[in-house]
Amino acid sequence: MAEYLLILVSTVLVNNFVLVKFLGLCPFMGVSRKLETAIGMAFATTFVLTLSSICSYLVNHFILVPLDITYLRTISFILVIAVVVQFTEMVVHKTSPLLYQVLGIFLPLITTNCAVLGVALLNVQQELDFFSSALYGFGAAVGFSLVLILFAAMREHIVAADVPLAFRGPAIALITAGLMSMAFMGFSGLVRG
């Protein structure tokens, strides 16, 4: 039980995928202009990340390793992720057409969210078992969602601020992300390794 808690704390806070590992920065910068879209994106990414880490574990464990074709790992994981994203897109399209409209191009772009492939590959690298892999994916997604939502709310405030002209837009957003990353360093040391 303690081990699972450690995985969660580690992925959500200590080794946050966005602010500490710097993965998944494109959606972090791209979909954080509005809080509502950020929340939608957070749910979609959580769903995809958890599902894809489960699927990639199954593919790795029951197809790649027995057939001894682990050199195909990266490409097969990309395929798995693309399938999961397509599935998510269909689900969102059917259940919430409005969210589908709002997320627009970013929904299929989850495929290229490097955090998703990163989680799948890190799971294999760390030789996690089935449940730990799923939890690792889920924790990474929760960490991603957390900072994405907080960041979106901050950006809504910053838009109204009297930022010097040269720093408007992405520049001040990146500075904010840097300061957030500094704040997240406070969690280092909570989990060893």
Partner 1 sequence: MTVLRTSSSPHIHGPNSVPKLMFTVLACLLPALLAHGWFFGAGIAVHLTLACATALGCEALMLSLRDKSRMLFLTDGSALVSATLLCFAIPPLAPWWLTVIGVSFAIVVAKHLYGGLGHNPFNPAMVGYVLLLISFPREMTAWLTPATHSALHYDFGATLDLIFNAGITGVDAVTMASPLDHLRMELSRTHSMVEILNNGELYGRLGGTGWEWVNAMALLGGLLLLWRKIIHWHIPVAMLLALLISAGFFHLLDPGRYSDPMLHLFSGATMLGAFFIATDPVSAATTNRGRLYYGAGIGIITYIIRTWGGYPDGVAFAVLLMNMAAPTLDHFTQPRAFGHGERD
By CB under 8 A, tell whether 164 contacts partner 1: yes
How many residues sit in the footprint of partner 1 (CB under 8 A)?
28
Instruction: Determine, following the binding rule CB under 8 A, whether residue 25 of this chain makes contact with partner 1.
Output: no
User: Which H or E run contains 89?
Assistant: helix 73-95
How far out from the chain centre does Cα 91 lie?
19
Residue of 18, 84, 28 lying closest to 53 (CA atoms): 84
How many residues comprise the chain? 193
Q: Is residue 184 a contact partner of residue 64, using CB atoms and an 8 Å limit?
A: no
The residue (of 83 and 149) whose beta carbon lies closer to partner 1 is: 149
Query: Is residue 180 classed as helix, strand or coil in its secondary structure?
Result: helix
Interface region with partner 1, contact rule CB under 8 A, candidates 54-62, 89-97, 101-109, 176-184: 176-184
- Using the contact rule CB under 8 A, the part of the chain among 21-29, 43-51, 52-60, 149-157 near partner 1 is 149-157
Binder of partner 1 out of 74, 86, 126, 188 (CB under 8 A)? 188
If one asks whether residue 190 binds partner 1 (CB under 8 A), the answer comes out as yes
Decide if residue 175 touches partner 1 (CB under 8 A). Answer: yes
CA distances from 1 to 11, 44, 114, 131 (A): 16, 27, 29, 12
46 binds partner 1 (CB under 8 A): no
* 106 residue type, one letter: F
Q: Which is nearer to partner 1, 23 or 42 (CB)?
A: 42
